[in-house]
Amino acid sequence: MNGCDDTVGGRAAPRNPVSIERHPRYGRNVTSRPVRAGRIPVTRLTPALPDPRWNPKAFSGEVVPFRATVFREGHDLVGAMLVLTSPSGVKQRHRMTAGAAGTDRWEAKVRLDELGTWRWRVTGFGDEVGTWVHDAEVKIDAGVDVELMYEIGARLAERAAKEAGRPAAVRKRLKAYAAALRETEAAASARRALLEDPVLEEFRARPLARLTTDSEEHEILVERRRAGVGSWYEFFPRSEGARRLKKDGSWKSGTFRTAQRRLDGVAAMGFDVVYLPPIHPIGFAFRKGPNNTLTPGPFDPGSPWAIGAATGGHDAIHPDLGTLADFRAFVRRAAALGIEIALDLALQASPDHPWVTEHPEWFTTLPDGTIAYAENPPKKYQDIYPVNFDDDFEGLVVEVTRIVRHWMKQGVRIFRVDNPHTKPLAFWERLIGDINATDPDVVFLAEAFTRPAMMHALAMVGFQQSYSYFTWRNTKAELEEFLTSVSQETADFMRPNLFVNTPDILTEYLQFGGPAAFTVRATIAATAGATWGVYSGFELFESVARPGAEEAIDNEKYEYKPRDFAKAEADGRSLGLYLGILNRIRADHPALGQLRNIRFYYSDDDSVLVYSKHLEGRFIEGHGPDDHDTILVVANVDPHSVRETTVHLDLPAIDLPEGGTFEVEDLVTGDRWEWGEHNYVRLDAFTQPVHILRVIRGAE
């Protein structure tokens, strides 16, 4: 395939016929249906979405596997070439490699860095040189048609030497190669060795082929790296610096200025995104009290998700938190620490929201004249009115776009969207599409714990990230199935953010698993996915649930919850140092910044999870082609026991020789061991339930 044009073997690659042909047959005109298969069929191209109305996507720096099925009739060999065009118009060509024998699947992995829409196609071709080498090896070794095979090879080399697209030095070598093939006086071993001559490598980049077929052109959107890679930390700014006044028991709320002090601790743990629940005025009507009760006291602050009061709605800041200038200062301080601020976008209103009187058409009025409040049976949210999109869709698009752009002007480029599955899909496609058309760096995270069809559709229409069911996947079998699904089956369009807990979710695993459960969950989230997150209090092992609910007692959604992180650290009751180690390991090892590269291995114990994250050196800046980055994670997912078992690795899968030995280093303890295909491990849930191992290559 030549330099910068669309050719295979120096000739223009023919396109597939698509028009209807009319021609005489048996004395009458016959109409032929268009032939779509092509001479060398190219089918089942990925990355692709379940619905072709939307395009797949990747994030900057992601290594994307491009695949296609390419085959032909008979026994002659075929090849496949990936042709990529970057958003700036630069063309790349990558020879695809064959997959498992008999599958006819071909693959080329490419790191995509440039932001924007890439165009790509696959060219299938008859591999004439490959076919000749295969046939010649068989026949010459058998003493059949020896001179004929050498002559066929010589003519192929001469034909390639005439192609103007090949460099002059290569054309000269090909002519010499043709002459050598015809040298009948040469030793038989010398001529036979020509079938492995390095000059044949020329045909990898520029194949020789008369028969070619191009697939249709496809697109893939590459978004900024934060759309796919990040470490999130959630906290309520009103709790940071909050204090109870002794005189009357009332509370002094934390502010953006007091919350700034927490940013230093978050940065020290290595988190690069801070997510804030709604920061807007909170309604008073039907305000909830502690633990979601209907009887609030005079000093209860209410749920931040009950948005709107006389002081404003979604474009306002709660007066207790400070001013817009205070918020901008908070954002600037975060940026100075390398942290982005993610803001909650919750499209709902308290009964006191200005929308209720200004736009009653945005809500559902019941036959008795009341406005319907939110419900998720058996949960009731009397303090929240859901928005009805059916009576003024355009008006809501305009208003929400205005709100989003308002916060963008304050420095926010990430929005965590609350319950997007309760709003029309078309609304999100329109909103995100309009925002990203002018500001492609803005990221939207879908907080949708719902049916797969809706979760997948939200990702397809534009959401860059998605909450997932990781929180409830705890056993080895559950985790293998879940992580395989999100890294392979849906990775072309859906990026999971592996939150370990939320204000609404405190799983039984964390309630009863003790510190080991927190350690294991954090480790798997931080190493198995490219994006993960924790909600404040996780590092303090907060595990007491409200009776009958899967959420923490004295839930911060309904009250202030100041925490003494420094004292917990001093008393040895904090996981903060370990979370910092996890994020440092993520920063040091680019293999952990990929989604699609996880691979699972067998262990003899059903409670010991084993997987690798492997990235080839050719995809890592500053690394040589053999300087790979490989992390092995071995986790005891039973937080109540000691497990001793043997783990079994597939060494070629991580570019190590089969049957060989190598050294690993535990990145938490610094211990080193010699490993091979089969390795004994002992994981004590009460001391060290997890190994995070670096594979050491070469002398260190």
* 452 prior amide bond cis, ω within 30: no
φ, ψ (nearest 5 deg) of residue 352: -95, 0
Of 234, 352, 447, 542, which is the active-site residue?
Answer: 447
Amino acid at 213: T
Q: Is 394 a catalytic residue?
A: no
Helix 576-588 × helix 508-528 angle, to 10°: 20
Which residues, at least 6 apart from 165, have a Cβ–Cβ distance to it below 8 Å? 2, 3, 5, 7, 10, 206
* Domains, in order of start, for the chain: 42-223 (2.60.40.10), 233-345+394-592 (3.20.20.80), 597-696 (2.60.40.1180)
Q: Would you state the pLDDT for residue 26? A: 59
Q: Would you state the pLDDT for residue 3? A: 37
Q: What percent of the chain has pLDDT over 70?
A: 96
Euclidean distance between CA atoms 95 and 109, whole angstroms: 10
For 2, other C-beta atoms within 10 Å of its C-beta total 17
Per the annotation, where are the binding residues? 288, 348, 383, 419, 557-558
Write out the DSSP string of 153-167: HHHHHHHHHT-TTS-
> Are the C-beta atoms of 667 and 693 separated by less than 8 Å?
yes
At residue 662, the 3 state secondary structure works out as: strand
Q: Would you state the pLDDT for residue 699? A: 62
Which residues, at least 6 apart from 589, have a Cβ–Cβ distance to it below 8 Å? 613, 629, 631, 694
> Are the C-beta atoms of 161 and 136 separated by less than 8 Å?
no
Question: In sequence order, what are the beta bridge partners of 282?
Answer: 307
Q: Would you state the pLDDT for residue 393? A: 98
φ, ψ (nearest 5 deg) of residue 220: -140, 135
> Are the C-beta atoms of 343 and 355 separated by less than 8 Å?
no
In this structure, the strands spanning 273-276 and 230-234 are: parallel
Query: What are 615-661's pLDDT values in tens digits?
Result: 999 999 999 999 999 999 999 999 999 999 999 999 999 999 999 99
Residue 490's nearest CA partner among 431, 446, 440, 434 is 446
Q: Would you state the pLDDT for residue 247? A: 83
Residue 381's nearest CA partner among 276, 314, 306 is 306
Q: Would you state the pLDDT for residue 249? A: 86
φ, ψ (nearest 5 deg) of residue 371: -95, 135
Q: Would you state the pLDDT for residue 25? A: 60
Question: In sequence order, what are the beta bridge partners of 68?
Answer: 106
Q: Would you state the pLDDT for residue 12? A: 46
Largest alpha-carbon pair distance within the chain? 109
* Segments of 200-318 assigned E as strands: 212-214, 218-223, 230-234, 243-244, 251-252, 273-276
Helix 576-588 × helix 256-268 angle, to 10°: 60
At residue 614, the 3 state secondary structure works out as: strand
Of 104, 128, 135, 418, which is the active-site residue?
Answer: 418
User: Encoding tokens for residue 334?
Assistant: 């975060």
At residue 231, the 3 state secondary structure works out as: strand
Query: What is the rounded (10 degree) CA torsion for 103, 104, 110, 114?
Result: -110
Helix, strand, coil percentages in the chain from 3-state DSSP, rounded to 5: 30, 25, 40
Residue 560's nearest CA partner among 381, 201, 320 is 320
Per the annotation, where are the binding residues for alpha-maltose 1-phosphate? 288, 348, 383, 419, 557-558
At residue 531, the 3 state secondary structure works out as: strand
- The full length of the chain comes to 700
Burial class for 165, CB neighbours closer than 10 Å (0-12, 13-18, 19+): middle
Euclidean distance between CA atoms 41 and 80, whole angstroms: 11
Radius of gyration for the chain, computed over Cα atoms and rounded to the nearest angstrom: 31
In this structure, the strands spanning 414-418 and 340-345 are: parallel
The end-to-end CA distance of the chain, in Å, is 41
φ, ψ (nearest 5 deg) of residue 139: -75, -45
Q: Is 73 a catalytic residue?
A: no
Query: What are 275-300's pLDDT values in tens digits?
Result: 999 999 999 999 999 998 999 999 99
Question: In sequence order, what are the beta bridge partners of 59?
Answer: 223
> Are the C-beta atoms of 609 and 634 separated by less than 8 Å?
yes
Residue 143 DSSP class: T
Residue 281 DSSP class: -
The segments of the chain whose pLDDT lies below 70 read: 1-28, 699-700
